[in-house]
């Protein structure tokens, strides 16, 4: 688990340490203005979605800076485990990374290696930007980054569930995030899950149990406020929906009213 080094700028990390049940959301639109608007809603963290969102490297940099400047924690969800993508996200100033489709302990160890400066890992130094997003000077960032960045891996396949105990045992993995839609596709063969299928429930329970056993935080996606409130009874943090879905849902609901 991450150490006790304290930086008040790291809103999500501090809330997790305090067991304050922080709430995140996903950002899929390539706009630093959207990032600002969402950051001002009261969320504790925003996951900039470079896996499924319309987010380029440039947009990721801009959104990371905009979110951090407003006192919210930017995390970056990568599109794959490639070392260059980990380096770019952390060099932009992300307070952590979310890495999809982790299926083995070996994959988790490789992610951790690329996320840590030597001697714990192999991350290179050269960017002045991350210190800005952490609200500290560069020497302090270099000294503390290994112990304050959140390394989160996603469990979203049957293989990931089968190996979840070994994945959670990897030092340097701080959080596991359940991707319920991909998990349902892998375990059940369809999406969305009804939520009460024995195989699906067992996969989630097994993941939560492994995280608790090894002292890792555990998170998941929640579709709305009601499910978010329910999930926070079991999970340390949740990501409540998506900027794109929020736009669609508001317009759909208000158009129904307008045309009724």
As annotated, the active-site residues are: 52
Q: How far apart are CA 36 and CA 222, in angstroms?
A: 22
Give start and end residues of each alpha helix (H) in 98-240.
105-115, 129-133, 138-148, 158-162, 164-168, 180-187, 198-213, 225-231
The kind and range of the H/E element at 59 are helix 57-69
What is the dihedral angle through the alpha carbons of 67, 180, 214, 14, rounded to the nearest 10 degrees? 20
d(CA 31, CA 204): 33
In angstroms, the Cα distances linking 235 to 193, 207, 211, 229, 230 are 18, 11, 10, 10, 9
């Amino acid at each position: 688990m991450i150490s006790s080094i304290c930086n008040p700028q790291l809103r999500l990390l501090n809330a997790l340490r305090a067991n304050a049940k922080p709430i995140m959301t996903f950002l899929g639109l390539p706009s630093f203005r959207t990032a600002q608007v969402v950051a001002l809603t009261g969320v504790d963290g925003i996951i900039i979605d470079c896996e499924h969102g319309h987010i380029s490297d440039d947009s990721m940099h801009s959104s990371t800076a905009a979110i951090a400047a407003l006192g919210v924690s930017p995390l970056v969800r990568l599109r794959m485990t490639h070392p260059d993508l980990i380096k770019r996200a952390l060099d932009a100033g992300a307070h952590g990374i979310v890495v999809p489709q982790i299926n083995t302990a070996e994959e988790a160890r490789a992610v951790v290696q690329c996320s840590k400066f030597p001697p714990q890992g192999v991350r290179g130094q050269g960017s002045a930007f991350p210190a800005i997003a952490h609200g500290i000077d560069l020497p302090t960032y270099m000294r503390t980054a290994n112990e304050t960045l959140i390394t989160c891996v996603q469990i979203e396949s049957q293989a990931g569930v089968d190996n979840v105990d070994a994945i959670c045992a990897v030092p340097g993995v701080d959080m596991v995030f359940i991707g319920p839609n991909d998990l349902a596709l892998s375990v059940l063969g369809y999406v969305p899950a009804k939520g009460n299928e024995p195989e699906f429930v067992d996969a989630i329970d097994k993941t939560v149990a492994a995280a608790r056993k090894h002292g890792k935080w555990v998170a998941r996606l929640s579709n709305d406020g009601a499910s978010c409130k329910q999930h926070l009874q079991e999970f340390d943090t949740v990501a409540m929906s998506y900027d794109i879905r929020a736009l669609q849902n508001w317009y759909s609901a208000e158009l129904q009213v307008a045309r009724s």
